[in-house]
Structure 1
């Protein structure tokens, strides 16, 4: 298994109505988070501790919230908020 990111919960539904430019920014930052998590947790499947705390990322037009699940080698985008600015 290798590190990936994906939408989770209601974020996938919200992504269906968000503008393409905003979603491109979400995807770009999510890929950066995947690269960082992969570098930090080289042996993700063997991880036995608590997963790191997620966070919020502010991007042009809004923000998104993510959570890292190390044993699954996933970065989940759990909420996106498009504000239109």
Structure 2
């Protein structure tokens, strides 16, 4: 396996209607989170601890809710919330 990120259940459901520039920022931050998780959980599939739970990440244009699952080597994004003002 290799680390990655994805929208859960899918991008269409999670990010519908969000501005493209904001989603680009979400993608950049998600890439950073993947690199950090990969370094922190060197043996992800063998991880025996508890998952960290849901967290918030703030980016230009809003924020998103994500969770790191070491055993699946996955950063899952559950919700994106763009700022209401442009």
Q: TM-score by structure 2 length?
A: 0.88
Q: Following superposition of structure 1 onto structure 2, how do residues 20-39 of structure 1 map, counting pairs within 5 Å? A: 20-39=20-39
Match of residue 76 from structure 1: 76
Mind listing any 5+ residue stretches in structure 1 that lack a counterpart?
none
Q: Cα deviations across residues 41-81 of structure 1 (Å, max 9, x unaligned)?
A: 00001011111233111112111010011100000011100
Distance in 2 separating the partners of 1:10 and 1:3: 17
Q: Gaps (5+ residues) in structure 2? A: none
What stretches of structure 1 move > 2 A for 4+ residues in a row?
Answer: 9-12
Report how far residue 82 of structure 1 moved. Answer: 1.1
The aligned length equals 85
Tell me how large the CA RMSD over aligned residues is: 1.6
Compute the TM-score of the two structures, normalised by the length of structure 1. Answer: 0.89
Mapping 1:4-23, distance limit 5 Å: 4-9=4-9, 12-23=12-23
